[in-house]
Amino acid sequence: MKDNLIIELFRKRDERAIAELKTKYDKLCVYVAGNILSMHEDVEECVNSAYFDVWNNIPPASPDDLKTYLCRIVKNKAIDKLKYNSAEKRNSELTVSLDELAECIPSKAEEELSASQLAETISRFLREQDEKHRKVFVRRYWYGDSLGKIAELFNMNEKTVATYLFRTREKLKVYLRKEGYDHE
């Protein structure tokens, strides 16, 4: 079923909406949460919680891209669960990747800019990058893939992947400064 029809089912409060959403995107949601969490029960809990959030948020929300909307919710749920599970432990692969990215994302901008404006700025930056750099960046910081997994996907050496990511983060820092975000 097409996304716009699924969204329409949500608007009508038709319970088939969740079933259709699950049929279409369950494997992707499990993959996204599974890259962050190690226990199957936690993954399942995050995915089901995300479906519940979508049910509660549509309407009034009306996402342009249901797949991205759902994946963002799943990812945020999984990150929250990871934080809860590991409290002070700082050894997970995702924590490392988020720490890497935090080095170039400012904690606050000179002007009061919203998180959605920051997200749009980063999206604009990524659209300007060549396809391989963009895909490597997204695999690491959106899907939470390890360097080894990315290297395997793109037939690259892990050190090359690390170099791609480092250079892209450095370019992102410069780009964000030009857009009014001050890292320091």
Give me the domain span that covers residue 50.
3-88
Domain CATH number, residue 46? 1.10.1740.10
Q: pLDDT per residue over 101-160, tens digit each?
A: 666 666 554 344 566 677 788 888 889 999 999 999 888 887 778 889 899 999 999 999
The residues near 94 (Cβ < 8 Å, ≥ 6 apart) are: 35, 36, 79, 82, 144
Long-range CB contacts (within 8 A, 24+) of 107-114 = 109/180, 109/181, 109/182, 110/180, 110/181, 110/182, 111/180, 113/180, 113/181
Q: What is the pLDDT of residue 109?
A: 42
Cα distance between residue 50 and residue 45, in whole Å: 9
Domain count, the chain: 2
Pair 98, 158 in one domain: yes
Pair 99, 81 in one domain: no
Position 184 in a domain: no
Distances (CA, A) of 172 to 57, 102, 148, 153, 179: 32, 11, 23, 23, 10
Position 123 in a domain: yes
Among 13-22, 80-89, 96-105, 159-168, name the one with the lowest average pLDDT: 96-105
Domain end, chosen from 72, 88, 104, is at 88
